[in-house]
Amino acid sequence: MAPGSRLLALWALAALVLPSSGEEGDGGWRRGGPGAVAEEERCGVERRADLTYADFVQHYAFVRPVILQGLTDNSRFRALCSRERLLASFGDRVVRLSTANTYSYRKVDLPFQEYVEQLLHPQDPGSLGNDTLYFFGDNNLTEWASLFRHYSPPPFGLPGTAPAYSFGIAGAGSGVPFHWHGPGYSEVIYGRKRWFLYPPEKTPEFHPNKTTLAWLRDTYPALPPSARPLECTIRAGAVLP
């Protein structure tokens, strides 16, 4: 594929959920224990707060990643996503959990409150992906509609695509291994998310059933500079297309 025609859909990506730094409030989600992951020394992804749609399509959407800032105000949605309010509104709703491996083979259904109170904890570096369950992506859009209607999505779209919401909550240090998927946005509501991005012509070295935290601990330190991914940590309100 020629330079300039690469779709973001083809970038290999992985991400780690990081605990809130505390400076922007944690919504009651921060919990003690291990799992904190340091941020990268230097963010390798450009940040833009003054981007027009034409600039986005011409310079980023089909070429390289960018972090969007300040394009929407989701303070109302954020308030509704506090631990207390989500449990009060959706605690008895059944959610579908996925395993934290590349292809998320196994699905488990259980009440949202049970997930939050019993399974939502920092990632164990020694656990395999198929032994780690987290809530992300398999949303019942009808049951969660009362929450999603308060979300303001980024104003940029791509021709021929239609939006669909994917909402999730996971413990510190969690994240699936490298994978590919179609165009989309990732916005942080609480906490932080550290991203690792490879262009389509590079295949990262990783095990599909080991967590991203294990990859960061065991594989990442030995990578030469030429084999390292683009990295950046995004915080509440930032969006990665």
Output the domain CATH number for residue 102.
2.60.120.650
The answer to whether position 2 is within a domain reads no
Task: Tell me the average pLDDT across 176-188.
Answer: 81
Q: Find the angle CA(147)-CA(148)-CA(151) to the nearest 5 degrees.
A: 110
**Reported pTM:** 0.84
Report whether 87 contacts 116 (CB < 8 A): yes
Task: Tell me the average pLDDT across 165-180.
Answer: 82
pLDDT of residue 164: 79
pLDDT confidence bin for 185, thresholds 50/70/90: confident
What's the rounded Cα separation, in Å, for the pair 231 and 224? Answer: 15
User: 186-187 and 239-240: which strand pairing?
Assistant: antiparallel
Query: Within a 10 A sphere around the Cβ of 134, how many other Cβ atoms?
Result: 22
The token duo for 108 is 């488990």
The answer to whether position 3 is within a domain reads no
Range of the structural domain that residue 43 is part of: 8-240
The answer to whether position 104 is within a domain reads yes
| Mean pLDDT of the chain, nearest integer | 81
- Cα torsion at 126, 128, 132, 137 (round to 10°)? 130
Please give the tally of structural domains in the chain: 1
